[in-house]
Structure 1
Amino acid sequence: MTEACPIREGAGAHPDALALTFAGQGWTYAALDEAVGRWVAALRARGVGKGECVGVLSTNHAALVHLFFALGRVGAVLAPFNARLTPSELGPMVEDVAPRLLLALSPFVSLLPGAEPLESFADTVARASPDCPPLESGAARVILFTSGTTGRPKGAVLTEGNFRASARGSRANLGAHPAPRWLGTLPLFHVGGLAMLTRTAYDGGCLVLRERFDADDTNRALDTEGITHASFVATTLERILDARQDAPVPASFQCALIGGGPVPAPLLARARAAGIVSLQTYGLTESCSQAATERPDEADGLTAGRALPGLEVRVVGPSGEPLAPGEEGELEVRGPTVMAGYWNRPEATREVLREEGWLRTRDLGRLDARGRLTVLARRTDLILRGGENVYPAEVEKVLADHPSVREAAVVGVPHARWGEVPVAFVVPRDGAPLAADVLEAWCQERLARFKLPTRLLPLDALPRNAMGKVERGALRQRALAPGLTPTP
């Protein structure tokens, strides 16, 4: 099965409609089609052909958008590297993909030996290539490296069909919009950023791209640039509301997708009062972003919603047997958004892609009778206290629901009697002192005794890796420091 390039289609159907804005510039579909054609000519002049890889180190930039769609027309594969990584972290990834060409935004060229400046790569091309062959649904489009919290990072291969299916599922879930304007603050080296880019193009909308997230800039865009959709995490949503002092957003704004884990109930209430309908989601790189998302007409903030239309999510037991609603087990996802596999890692691919197309996520959760998903923990984060399962996400949500807490993270540490016990790290709101006794009483009212943290430790901020995920290993080491050993 083949698909037409969405930019060429847009140039024919609505050439004067805006497709992309960045740094004060705007590209209509006709102008973007012309720009992509110049990049096609530049890539072919350098000998980049079908199935070959181009590695890129860059923050969000219009040139990265041009390159992405040009590689689709050439039949080549984009490998975007995380711009927050060090040269020693980047080296193994470059070695894995063996790129035909390396490009980097000018400030990052020195971090990637052999890289050429991204912004000026197509500047010398005088004429755009008119070639725009059909895109094969099964063709690899992107290699996205997982965060690599254990072992060497793996490159998930996402296809044109994966992105198309993700866009269709999201559209079916959110409802069609005649001209969506997505605010692009998520990085394009992340599956969430690329999902927004492709979703907007397939829907004939406009990506309002930003180099990075900034709360004041985001609020200006919401108030003045006709934004209809956005994607945030809980911390950025709170920063937006704080910066605008909870002032309502324009009625043209439809909804925000919220990833990265459970959102505190008070924050969701604040967002709704300001007109920001916030839909919790569950997704992963290997499922091309969203796997489950709340429906706009039934969102209550209690779950991550049902499987995206066109996908299936199930919970299985230790032997892979499907479990009934309410039972806890490992989450699996099936459908056209599931990756083709890991780049040059056949064994790792076989470990996660089960028979009949099910993707093993290694996350733990449960489904309710309506098929709505509650994510409990990564299997590696599960805490076994005296034979009882303690799910960090459950304890973290209780802590984060307290008005004095900005965010929290819970880890398990060894204990002579119980095997493991939970320790909580808490970031107080507005730098206030940690009221441990108040939080202990709050937790005691809402959690079973075996789930209660044995310590509540204050932090100015949670440590995060280059992908923005909490570094639980660092927190475990801190919890084991002398003087912090948990008591029975």
Structure 2
Amino acid sequence: MQWTCPIRTGAETRPDAPALTFAGQGWTYRELDLEVGRWVGALRARGVTAGDRVALLATNHAVGVFLFLALGRLGAVLVPLNARLTRAELQPLTEDISPRLTLALTNLAERLPDAEPLESFADALGAPDSHCVPLETKTPRVILFTSGTTGRPKGAVLTEGNFRASARCSEANLGPHPAPRWLGTLPLFHVGGLAMLTRTAYDGGCLVLRERFEADDTNRAIDEEGITHASFVATTLERVLDARKDRPVPSTFRLALIGGGPVPAPLLERARAAGILSLQTYGLTEACSQVTTERPDEADGRTAGRPLPGLELRIVGPGGEAVGPGREGDIEVRGPTVMAGYWNRPEATSEALRDGWLRTKDLGVLDERGRLTVLSRRTDLIVRGGENIYPAELEAVLAAHPAVQEAAVVGVPDGRWGEVPVAFVATRNGVPLPEDLGTWCRESLAGFKVPARFLSIEALPRNAMGKVERTVLRQRAQAA
């Protein structure tokens, strides 16, 4: 199947409808079509063609939207990099993808030595270029890096078909809307942010883009800008309710998707009392965002909902056999939103994709109604305020400290962030715990990954197979 650019389609069918707002500016579909055309011309002038990768380091900005849409018209691939990563973390990612072009916002460019300032690139734009290749279902659109439990980054290749299917399946679950206005506070370097962008474009709606989440600003947008949909994690939902003092939202606001892990029942009750229908979701990058979501007419906050219409989900036991309701096991997903594979990682792709099923390595259980409860995100994964933290990555940094013999990192519950990482450190020769461990970590890791606490331990507890007993460490961390 082939598709054309949704903005080009919108410019032909609803040219004066709002398509994008950012920082006090707005673009109709006609205006956005022309702006994207200018970016197409600039990219073609730089030799960007179908299949080329363009790396981008940026926080949310309108020019990031222009770039993504323009690359689609060329059949090229966007590689959005996490703007919270350090220079050391970013280097192997860009080396892996060999980009034709690397762009970064000026204030972030120092982290990517070969990056061109995104603003300068935009200033050099000329007349609109009408070039717009049709996109196939399997045309790669984005490579998003996501780490496994080993901590080694893998680039998930998401296609035009993945994004189209994700939007279609989500609409089938949430119900259609003639002109949705999504509040874009999720970063566009995360699958949730990109799914929101594409969903809005395909549905003929408007993305109300923000550089970052701010509770007061979010409430102003809900109250004054006609927001119909938003996406939050538990911490941001709570901050929104606190800031508005539980004041009811206007009738124009329809619902909020809640990701990043389970949401406390009292928080959901607060949200619904304020008129915010909050639907819990379960998703992952490799499945182009949502996999399951509560249905608006049966949401009770007890599960992450059923699979989206058009997707299949099963729970499998240790031998790979599907198990019935009430039985715990590994979550597997099949359907048109599942990624094409990992970039340049055939072995990892073969491990993750078996007979069309995506092996998430998350643990879960289905109830009699087919609703999913997620028991563990990739076993050792720590989810801090919606950001994934993989213990192996932190442990490798700590192990490189000259005074550290060994280290293990576990997640513990936190009232603000959901979970925070706590590091257990055994030092060499029994020396006192170094005071500079936080500084040491910040030199190589993004701030949200740095352990909240460092606890001294004589030796890490291990089982008969020599594996660290993380359950024991979690109990100790919580007791401490």
> What do residues 329-381 of structure 1 show as CA deviations (whole Å, max 9, x unaligned)?
000000000000000000000000011x0000000000011110000003433
Equivalence for 2:30: 30
Helix, strand or coil for the counterpart of 1:126?
coil
- Distance 1:34-1:278 versus aligned 2 partners, 3 A rule: same
1:5 maps to 2:20: no
Identity across matched positions, percent: 71
Helix, strand or coil for the counterpart of 2:182?
strand
Query: How many Å apart are 1:130 and its aligned residue?
Result: 1.0
- Name the CA distance, whole Å, in 2 between partners of 1:427 and 1:263: 12
TM-score normalised by length of structure 1? 0.81
Unmatched runs of 5 consecutive residues or more in structure 1: 383-391, 397-408, 412-421, 431-462
Contact 2:149 2:380 in 1 (8 A): no
Give the 5 Å matches for 1:255-404. 255-355=255-355, 357-381=356-380
- Distance 1:49-1:265 versus aligned 2 partners, 3 A rule: same
Unmatched runs of 5 consecutive residues or more in structure 2: 392-408, 418-440, 460-472
The alignment's C-alpha RMSD in Å is: 2.7
Query: How many Å apart are 1:480 and its aligned residue?
Result: 4.7
Contact 2:21 2:207 in 1 (8 A): yes
1:53 maps to 2:53: yes
> Which amino acid letter does the alignment assign opposite residue 359 of structure 1?
L
- Distance 1:76-1:468 versus aligned 2 partners, 3 A rule: farther
Query: How many Å apart are 1:213 and its aligned residue?
Result: 0.3
Query: How many Å apart are 1:120 and its aligned residue?
Result: 3.2
Query: How many Å apart are 1:124 and its aligned residue?
Result: 2.4
Equivalence for 1:227: 227
Equivalence for 1:78: 78
1:122 maps to 2:126: no
Contact 2:86 2:446 in 1 (8 A): no
Equivalence for 1:189: 189
Query: How many Å apart are 1:476 and its aligned residue?
Result: 9.1
Aligned length: 418
Helix, strand or coil for the counterpart of 2:267?
helix
> Which amino acid letter does the alignment assign opposite residue 39 of structure 2?
W
- Distance 1:466-1:88 versus aligned 2 partners, 3 A rule: closer
- Name the CA distance, whole Å, in 1 between partners of 2:297 and 2:448: 30
Query: How many Å apart are 1:469 and its aligned residue?
Result: 7.8
- Name the CA distance, whole Å, in 2 between partners of 1:475 and 1:367: 34
- Name the CA distance, whole Å, in 1 between partners of 2:476 and 2:295: 43
- Distance 1:344-1:247 versus aligned 2 partners, 3 A rule: same
> Which amino acid letter does the alignment assign opposite residue 186 of structure 1?
L
- Name the CA distance, whole Å, in 2 between partners of 1:14 and 1:333: 36
> What do residues 46-66 of structure 1 show as CA deviations (whole Å, max 9, x unaligned)?
000110100000000000000
Contact 1:306 1:371 in 2 (8 A): yes
Equivalence for 2:67: 67
TM-score normalised by length of structure 2? 0.82
> Which amino acid letter does the alignment assign opposite residue 269 of structure 1?
E
Query: How many Å apart are 1:151 and its aligned residue?
Result: 3.0
> Which amino acid letter does the alignment assign opposite residue 370 of structure 1?
R
Runs of 4+ in 1 over 3 A off after TM superposition: 422-430, 463-471, 474-487
- Distance 1:161-1:247 versus aligned 2 partners, 3 A rule: same
- Name the CA distance, whole Å, in 2 between partners of 1:86 and 1:348: 25
Equivalence for 1:214: 214
- Name the CA distance, whole Å, in 2 between partners of 1:152 and 1:424: 19
- Name the CA distance, whole Å, in 2 between partners of 1:283 and 1:334: 13
- Name the CA distance, whole Å, in 2 between partners of 1:477 and 1:52: 43
Contact 1:184 1:210 in 2 (8 A): yes
> Which amino acid letter does the alignment assign opposite residue 125 of structure 1?
L
Give the 5 Å matches for 1:372-451. 372-381=371-380, 425-427=412-414
Equivalence for 1:101: 101
Query: How many Å apart are 1:114 and its aligned residue?
Result: 1.3
- Name whichever of 370-379 and 188-197 sits farther off: 370-379
Contact 1:423 1:479 in 2 (8 A): no
